[in-house]
Structure 1
């Protein structure tokens, strides 16, 4: 397997684990100095999260979903060097019955067999309306 194919497999596993709501396993797949950045200017959502901060955010978010997790389904991946670009769709039924379904572009870097950085681009208006009601 080439390094780019290996990186794509690592990213596919990362999102499959994320979609199960298994926060400890997601954090385990994130490099020790890993981070996750979310686009936009939504207070409480946008910004950069360290590995520890991400664990808290994901643990808190699990309670919002009937299924206990946000499903992120990659629809395409392109890899070059240590970077993997992912187009994806999400789905979750919120506890109040509303549906959250967003479209994403993620840019991830992989090092030492783990995800080092995640850059998340999405429809921030849909996210803000769903999670914060405005």
Structure 2
């Protein structure tokens, strides 16, 4: 059996495949992905900030987020594990649908149950994200 850290690192590889079935298989049946309320991505896509179930999570990762972001580049800053909890610090760079650049730092707290992910709590600079997504350049 893989360690929680290995499970999470492998998940990031599978996320980039955009294969919804493979992504859904990473999560428990009762999995949750919780992001800050009112974050720019959820608002711009008219999407929930609290996804429940492997298929809703997989559909967002495989399809819906790509309506807003292209040329996605993820750089890990750190990956830390303690028991069944894995913390991933990363910087995401991308191009927004309108062509503007996007760059923000994220922290994800994964809770692993057995060999699958049970919960993800996502944190980011919501103000910076809002400015990049919604504010016009001067």
TM-score interval, smaller chain = 0.7 to 0.9
1:30 corresponds in structure 2 to 27
Instruction: Kindly report structure 1 stretches of 4+ aligned residues shifted beyond 6 Å.
Output: none
The C-alpha deviation readout for 1:88-123, integer Å capped at 9, x for no partner, is 111212232212221011110111211110000001
- Pair 1:24–1:127, CA change in 2 (3 A): farther
Computed over aligned residues only, the root mean square deviation of the Cα atoms, in angstroms, reads 2.3
Say yes or no: does 1:64 pair with 2:68: yes
In structure 2, C-alpha distance between the alignment counterparts of 1:78 and 1:120, rounded to whole Å:
15
The 8 Å contact of residues 36 and 49 in structure 2, kept in 1 or not, is answered as yes
Secondary structure of the structure 1 residue equivalent to 2:97? coil
Q: TM-score, normalised by structure 1?
A: 0.79
Distance change (3 Å), C-alpha of 1:47 and 1:94: closer
- In structure 1, list runs of 5 or more residues that go unmatched: none
Contact 1:85 1:108 in 2 (8 A): yes
> Deviation at 1:33?
1.2
Number of residue pairs aligned between Structure 1 and Structure 2: 128
2:93 maps to 1:96: no
Note if contact 1:11-1:84 (Cα within 8 Å) is conserved in structure 2.
Answer: yes
Q: Give yes or no for contact 2:20–2:59 (8 Å, CA) kept in 1.
A: no
In the superposition, the TM-score normalised over structure 2's length comes to 0.77
Which residue of structure 1 lines up, in the alignment, with residue 56 of structure 2?
A: 53
